[in-house]
Chain A
Amino acid sequence: MDKNNNQNKKIILGGLIALVFLLAVGFAAFGSQLTIKGTARVSTAWDVHISSVIPYEFVGSAQDVAHEIGEGGLSAVLETDLKAPGDSVTYDITVVNQGSLPAKLSDIKFHQTQAQEVADQKGYKPSITYSYKGIDTVSDDTKTKLKPGEEVTFQVTVTFTKDFDTTKYTEAQIENELELILTYNQDVE
C-alpha cells in the first residue's frame, strides 16, 4: 500500500512538472517579449574645416594649375597661371561646421607678397593681386557665424592687373603669393 502511494506521488509530481513545463513552453510560444533600447550620447565635438575648393570663374587666358585641400581640411593651396593683363580666376571655398558647437570667425589675416612691395616702393604697381569676399568678422550671418551643420562659401579672386605694362615689368612682378588665415573659435554668445 505504501509502495503504491509513493508511486502515485511520483507520478503526480512528474505530471505536474511536465505540465508546468508545457505551460511554460506554451506561454513562450504564444508570447513575444518586446524590448526597446535607446542610446543617448552627449557629444561636444569641434569640427570646423574647409570642405571644398572649386575654381569657377575664368577670365581671359587664366588657368587653374592646381587646387587642393590639406589633410583634415585645415589648409588649402591654389596655384594659378595668368597670361595677359585682365586675366583672372575666382575660387569658391567652402568652410563647414560639422561639430556640435557653434563657431565664430574671430580673425582674418590676409597677406600677399606684391602688396608688401607696393608698400615698400613708391610707384610700384602690382602685376597680380588677390582679393576675397563673402566672409568677415562682424556680420551676424554665416559670413561670421556657423551653427552646427552650417557652411559658408566665400570667394578668392586672383587678377592680372588690367593696364599693367608687360614690356617693363621686373622679375619680382612675375609672381604673387597669398596667405589667408581664418581663425574660428567657439561662439559663446
Chain B
Amino acid sequence: MNQRIQKILIISLFAIVFIMFVGYSAFSSKMEIKGIARANTSWNVAIESIAVNEAMTKGRGSNISTVIENGGLIASFQSSLLYPGDIITYDVTVANKGIIDAKLDDIVFEQRNIGDEAKEENLSGEQLVINPIIYHYSGISKDEVLLADHKTTFQVTVQYNPDVDKTPLPEQMKSTSTIILSYIQNTNE
C-alpha cells in the first residue's frame, strides 16, 4: 500500500513538474524579422556620337573619319587641313544612360606634334618652334554635373595655325591630340 501511494505520489509530482515546465516555456516568444535588400543600380556614361559641326567649320579642310569604340569610351577623328586658317569642328555628345548622376571630375588635354618641327624666327633672330596644328575644346568644364538620363555636347576644334603662313614648314605635318574626360558619381556634396 505504501508503495502504491508512493508511486502515485511520484507520478503526480512528475506530472506537476511537467505542467510547470510546459507552462514556463509557453510564457516566452521569439520573433524573427528577416530582411533582404538589393542594390539594383547601374552606371553608364559614354560617348554617344561625334560628328562634324558644319556651321563651325571653315576653309578647305575635310573630315577623313570619325569612330566610336570600346563601348563609347573612346571616340577618334581624323582630319585633313590644307591651308593656314582651315578649321574643322566636331560635336561630341556624352550621354548618361545610367540611373546615377555623374560629375566631370577631370579633363586632361594633350597635344603632340609628329615629325619635323615647324620653326619661326622672331625679331631677335631666334628660331621658335610653333604648332602648325592647334587643337581646342569648348562647351565643357570641370565639375559639370551630367544628370542621369541626360546628355551634353561639346566641341573639339582642329585648326591649321593661321600664323604659320610665313614660316618654312616641313612637307608633312601630323599632330595628335588626346582629351580625357573623367566622370565620377555625383554625390551632391
Residues of A at the B interface (CB closer than 8 Å) are 44, 46, 48-50, 61, 73-85, 93, 95, 101, 103, 127-128, 130, 156, 158, 160, 162-163, 165-167, 169, 173-186
Contact of B38 among A174, A183, A184 (CB under 8 A): A174
Contact of B28 among A84, A127, A160, A185 (CB under 8 A): A185
B70 at the A/B interface (Cβ < 8 Å)? no
Mark the stretch among B111-119, B125-133, B181-189 that contacts chain A: B181-189
B30 at the A/B interface (Cβ < 8 Å)? yes
Contact assessment for B39 and A169 in the assembled complex, using a CB-CB cutoff below 8 Å: yes
Q: How far is the CB of A109 from chain B (nearest CB, A)?
A: 9
B1 at the A/B interface (Cβ < 8 Å)? no
Q: Could you name 13 residue pairs across A and B whose Cβ atoms are closer than 8 Å? A: A77-B36, A81-B38, A82-B38, A83-B39, A83-B41, A84-B100, A156-B35, A160-B39, A160-B41, A163-B189, A178-B36, A180-B34, A181-B32
Contact assessment for B33 and A93 in the assembled complex, using a CB-CB cutoff below 8 Å: yes
Contact assessment for A158 and B39 in the assembled complex, using a CB-CB cutoff below 8 Å: no
Contacts of B26 on A, CB cut-off 8 Å?
46
Contact assessment for B39 and A174 in the assembled complex, using a CB-CB cutoff below 8 Å: yes
Question: What class of interface size applies to chain B in its complex with A?
Answer: 20 to 34
B99 at the A/B interface (Cβ < 8 Å)? yes
B5 at the A/B interface (Cβ < 8 Å)? no
Contact assessment for B33 and A78 in the assembled complex, using a CB-CB cutoff below 8 Å: yes
How many residue pairs, one in A and one in B, have C-beta atoms under 8 Å apart?
A: 133
Known: A83-B40, A162-B187, A167-B185. A48 touches B35 (CB 8 A): no
Contact assessment for B39 and A181 in the assembled complex, using a CB-CB cutoff below 8 Å: no
Contact assessment for B29 and A74 in the assembled complex, using a CB-CB cutoff below 8 Å: yes
Contacts of B30 on A, CB cut-off 8 Å?
74, 181-184
0/1 interface trace, chain B 8-30, chain A, CB 8 Å (1 if under) = 00000000000000010011111
Contacts of A49 on B, CB cut-off 8 Å?
29, 31
Beyond A79-B35, A79-B36, 5 extra complex contacts between A and B, CB < 8 Å: A78-B36, A82-B38, A127-B39, A166-B39, A175-B38
**Cα of A79 to Cα of B30 in the assembled complex, Å:** 21
With both beta carbons as reference points, the residue of chain A lying nearest to B183 in the complex is identified as A167
Contact assessment for A82 and B31 in the assembled complex, using a CB-CB cutoff below 8 Å: no
Contact assessment for B28 and A81 in the assembled complex, using a CB-CB cutoff below 8 Å: no
Count chain A CB atoms within 10 A of each CB in B26, B33, B36, B39 and give the residue with the most: B33
Q: How far is the CB of A163 from chain B (nearest CB, A)?
A: 5
**Cα of A76 to Cα of B43 in the assembled complex, Å:** 33
Known: A82-B39, A163-B189. A178 touches B27 (CB 8 A): no
Q: How far is the CB of A13 from chain B (nearest CB, A)?
A: 61
Contact of A175 among B31, B39, B43 (CB under 8 A): B39
B108 at the A/B interface (Cβ < 8 Å)? no
Contacts of B55 on A, CB cut-off 8 Å?
none
Contacts of B43 on A, CB cut-off 8 Å?
166-167
